[in-house]
C-alpha cells in the first residue's frame, strides 16, 4: 500500500508510540508485506527466523522487536509487538469506511443486506452487501459477515420415502448463534439447526466459501480456510485449524487443537493436539509414509514380476 504523501520516520514512530533508530526525517512512502516491499516501504518482523530476511529486504524501514544494528540507508522502529503496531498503521492510513446508508450508532449494515424475523444483532457488527441473515439468527458483538453470505438457511435434511423414492424435507425450526468476535468471509453458508442451534464459537475466523451444516457446533478461536465443507451435527472443539477444501462427514467430533491439512476427508473422530492429512485422513506422519510407499509401488511390481 502506497501512502498519499511522504511521511517522516519520527512522525510514523509517534503514531505507534515507539522508539526509532535513524534520521528523524527518513522518508516513508508505503506499508507492505515482505514479499511486496519496495524502497520507501515499511515492513514488520517479529520472529528470529525472519530477522535477516526483513533487514536485507528492499524495505527501508523495519518494525522489529529486537535491538540490532541499523543497516545503512535504512531505519528501525523498535516495537514490543510489531504485528499489532503494523496493523495500527494500516488502520490509520486505510481505515475501513462504513456504508453511506443503513448504518446506526452501533453497527454497519451495508446496502442490500436482508434481515429476517426475530434476528438479534449485538454491538459493533459489520454485515457486508448481499448477505442474508435469516429468521431467528443471533449475532453477538464484534462480528463481521462477508458479502453474499447466507446465515440461517434451512437444514439439508430429507427422508426418502420407500414407496416412490421421493425425498421429503424435514421442516427446520432451529436457529444459528454467532458468538463474539467471529469473522465470516464472503459467500459462506451456515445452515440453521433442524430443531436445535448451529453455533460458531467466540473468536473463530472463517474464510470465504465455507459451508457449515445444521446443528454443527464450532468452538472458540478456530480457523477455517476457504472451500471447507462441514456436514451436519459435527462438533469442532476449541482452537482447531482446518485448511482449504477439507470435507467433514456428519456426526464427527474433532477434538481441541487438532490441525487438518488441505484437501483431507474426515470420516471418523479425530483426537486433539495432532495434525492430520489425507482421505480418509490420518496422522500426517503415517499418511506421508503411505504416500512414499505408493510412489515406490511401480518399481516394486516391476522387480517382482
Instruction: Write down all domains in the chain, each with its CATH number in brackets.
Output: 2-93 (3.40.1390.10), 108-286 (2.160.10.10)
Model's pTM, two decimal places?
A: 0.84
214 is catalytic: yes
**Tens digit of pLDDT for each residue in 183-219?**
999 999 999 999 899 999 999 999 999 999 999 999 9
**Tens digit of pLDDT for each residue in 274-291?**
999 999 999 998 888 888
| Contact call for residues 81 and 45 (beta carbons, < 8 A) | no
Task: Point out which residues pair with 254 in neighbouring strands.
Answer: 236, 270
φ, ψ for residue 184 (rounded to 5)? -120, 130
Nearest to 276 by CA among 252, 296, 295, 294: 252
**Tens digit of pLDDT for each residue in 115-149?**
999 999 999 999 999 999 999 999 999 999 999 99
pLDDT category of residue 104 using cuts at 50, 70 and 90: low
Provide mean pLDDT across the span 58-65: 96
Q: What is the pLDDT of residue 199?
A: 98
Judged by DSSP in three states, 31 sits in: strand
Q: What is the pLDDT of residue 101?
A: 56
- Is the pLDDT at 105 greater than 70? The verdict is no
Amino acid at each position: 500500500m502506497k501512502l498519499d504523501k511522504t511521511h517522516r520516520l519520527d512522525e510514523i514512530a509517534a503514531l505507534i508510540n515507539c522508539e526509532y533508530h535513524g534520521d528523524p526525517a527518513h522518508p516513508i512512502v508505503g506499508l507492505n508485506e515482505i514479499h511486496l516491499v519496495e524502497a520507501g516501504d515499511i515492513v514488520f518482523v517479529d520472529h528470529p527466523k525472519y530477522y535477516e530476511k526483513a533487514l536485507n529486504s528492499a524495505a527501508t524501514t523495519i518494525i522489529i522487536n529486537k535491538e540490532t544494528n541499523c543497516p545503512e540507508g535504512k531505519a528501525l522502529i523498535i516495537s514490543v509487538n510489531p504485528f499489532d503496531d503494523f496493523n495500527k498503521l494500516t488502520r490509520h492510513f486505510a481505515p475501513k469506511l462504513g456504508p453511506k446508508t443503513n448504518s446506526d450508532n452501533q453497527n454497519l449494515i451495508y446496502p442490500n443486506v436482508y434481515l429476517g424475523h426475530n434476528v438479534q444483532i449485538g454491538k459493533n457488527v459489520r454485515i457486508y452487501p448481499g448477505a442474508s441473515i435469516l429468521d431467528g439468527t443471533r449475532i453477538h458483538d464484534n462480528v463481521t459477515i462477508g458479502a453474499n453470505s447466507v446465515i440461517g438457511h434451512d437444514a439439508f435434511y430429507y427422508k426418502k420415502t420407500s414407496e416412490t423414492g421421493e425425498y421429503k424435507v424435514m421442516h427446520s425450526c432451529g436457529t444459528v448463534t454467532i458468538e463474539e468476535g467471529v469473522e465470516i468471509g464472503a459467500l459462506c453458508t451456515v445452515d440453521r439447526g433442524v430443531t436445535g442451534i448451529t453455533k460458531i464459537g467466540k473468536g473463530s475466523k472463517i474464510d470465504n466459501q465455507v459451508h457449515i451444516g445444521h446443528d454443527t457446533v464450532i468452538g472458540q478461536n478456530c480457523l477455517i480456510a476457504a472451500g471447507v465443507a462441514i456436514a451436519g451435527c459435527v462438533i469442532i472443539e476449541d482452537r482447531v485449524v482446518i485448511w482449504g477444501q477439507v470435507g467433514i462427514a456428519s456426526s464427527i467430533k474433532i477434538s481441541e487443537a487438532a490441525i487438518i491439512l488441505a484437501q483431507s476427508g474426515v470420516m471418523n473422530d479425530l483426537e486433539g493436539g495432532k495434525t492430520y492429512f489425507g482421505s480418509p485422513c490420518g496422522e500426517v506422519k503415517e499418511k506421508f509414509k503411505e504416500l512414499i510407499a505408493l510412489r515406490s509401488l511401480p518399481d516394486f511390481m516391476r522387480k517382482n514380476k
